[in-house]
């Protein structure tokens, strides 16, 4: 499958790591992070400008794991573009695109928080693993969380490559 600029998009599978949403709320400065509001298109058609992301790779849960600690040498926030954040069948769905801007293949870990719209309290946290993204290639990612949350925003807290 070709992406923009004739580059090949990775056929990497996206893996989901579920984590608890405990004491991260106090440590976050949510105002500095990019979020999205409810009322967006459905997650089956994640909207990323210039990309057809209608075929989001299969997601399968992995055993619970800790949220990765931030390593500035592996920070890759600029490699990720957020798509839609929408509630469907009781859960919130969030997705987007990751583009490997490096010179070597990379795996990515994207930490997503589902936060309340009124006071930015974190109600759920997920870690999405996107393996084997070739240099210059892109891969879609998506995650579901906060099954009991109302009026939430989806926020990318951290992106790291391995």
| Token digits of residue 128 | 């999405």
What pLDDT shows up at residue 65? 55
Mean pLDDT of the chain: 72
Flag whether pLDDT at 48 surpasses 90: no
Evaluated on CA atoms 10, 33, 124, 160, the torsion sign reads positive
Region 139-158: mean pLDDT is: 93
Q: Is a pLDDT exceeding 70 seen at residue 119? A: yes
- What's the angle, vertex CA 66, arms to CA 103 and CA 59, rounded to 5? 65
Burial (Cβ within 10 Å: 0-12, 13-18, ≥19) of residue 58:
exposed
Percent residues over pLDDT 70 in the chain: 60
Which comes out higher in pLDDT, residue 138 or 30? 138
**31 has pLDDT over 50:** no
Which class for 144: exposed (0-12), middle (13-18), buried (19 or more C-beta within 10 A)? Answer: buried
Residue 55 has pLDDT above 80, yes or no: no
Select, from the ranges 20-24, 80-84, 115-119, 144-148, the one with the highest average predicted confidence (pLDDT). 80-84
Record the pTM.
Answer: 0.63
């Amino acid at each position: 499958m070709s992406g923009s600029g004739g580059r090949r998009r990775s056929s990497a599978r996206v893996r989901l790591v579920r984590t608890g949403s405990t004491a991260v709320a106090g440590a976050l400065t949510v105002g500095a992070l990019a979020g999205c509001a409810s009322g967006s298109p459905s997650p089956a058609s994640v909207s990323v400008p210039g990309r057809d992301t209608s075929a989001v790779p299969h997601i399968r849960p992995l055993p619970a794991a800790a949220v990765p600690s931030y390593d500035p040498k592996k920070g890759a926030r600029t490699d990720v573009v957020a798509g839609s954040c929408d509630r469907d069948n009781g859960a919130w769905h969030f997705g987007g695109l990751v583009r490997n801007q490096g010179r070597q293949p990379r795996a990515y870990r994207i930490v997503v928080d589902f936060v309340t719209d009124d006071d930015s309290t974190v109600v759920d946290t997920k870690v999405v693993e996107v393996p084997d993204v070739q240099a210059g290639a892109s891969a879609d990612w998506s995650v579901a969380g906060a099954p009991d949350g109302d009026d939430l925003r989806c926020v990318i807290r951290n992106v790291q490559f391995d």
